[in-house]
Amino acid sequence: MDRRAILGGIAVATAIGATQDAAAQQGGKTYVLVHGAYGGGWIWRDVAAGLRRMGHAVITPTQTGLGDRSHLMARQITVETHIQDVANAIEAEELRDIILVGHSYGGMAVTGVADRMTDRIRHIVYLDALIPENGDTAFTILPAGMADQRRQVAREQGGGVSLPVPGPEAFPIPAGPAKDWFLRRLRPHPIGTYESPVRLGKPAGAGLPVTYVSYTNPALASIEPSRQRARAKPGWTFRELPVPHDVEIPMPETVVELLAGIG
């Protein structure tokens, strides 16, 4: 690796660590925001900016095969890859006392990371997200029949390697420049992450404080089994918001306010 790249990486990690320290000294919090299927760390642009303006530290890792890492797309990418992506970002930047946030498919990685790095996490927030238990795959916790439909589309349009990006109608947010920006950046999602099981040593949530936020306008069918699982979890806080599944795009201030209020 080029020496300048190494020094640049060290500088970035040092800057992020310093930002977390400064935020903590000012009463700020540290957020790790994990995106969902087809997305990338970019999806949190406006949410992250809003939280930083409030004095909080924020990182937004991109999972392998997506966003600016879409060139790494491969059949071998699994949910374990995505768990490691997030865990390695936390480890490399020496973060602690984290509010760990997962949106949609991002709940898979968040659950795995919380299981392994429990002592570093202050609170888990699932934003209309999937919740796996030990041995679950993303496909097994979708509503009946949905996994077969997605596998067929992956075979016919994704070469058996990826889930193609759905059409605009699959993302019920208002038409306009924000949605156009969102749709331009979506990329196919590695199907191996939906087929591979999450391995957990503890029940989902790892005994930590958990807030689950269900988005209900409209309620995305693929998330319903996980919503029901969250409702049944003793000790979890369950909330509903009348917003669309990808609310962080048209109304980032709603997500900023929600996350800033998490202890």
Residues with catalytic annotation? 104
Please tell me the distance from the alpha carbon of residue 41 to that of residue 98, in angstroms, as a whole number: 17
DSSP letters along 67-127, please?
Answer: GGGGGG--TT--HHHHHHHHHHHHHHTT--SEEEEEETTHHHHHHHHHHH-GGGEEEEEEE
User: In degrees, to the nearest 5, what angle opens at C-alpha 35 toward C-alphas 250 and 220?
Assistant: 65
* Single-letter amino acid, residue 180: D
Place of tokens 């000294």: 25
Please tell me the distance from the alpha carbon of residue 107 to that of residue 195, in angstroms, as a whole number: 15
Residue 174, classified by CB atoms within 10 Å of its CB into exposed (0-12), middle (13-18) or buried (19+), is: exposed
User: Could you tell me the maximum CA-CA distance found in the chain, to the nearest angstrom?
Assistant: 53
Please tell me the distance from the alpha carbon of residue 128 to that of residue 93, in angstroms, as a whole number: 27
- The answer to whether residues 250 and 173 touch, using CB atoms and an 8 Å cutoff, is yes
- 209 preceded by a cis bond (ω within 30 of 0): no
Specify the pairing of strand 210-215 against strand 121-127: parallel
The rounded Cα 166 to chain-centroid distance in angstroms is 18
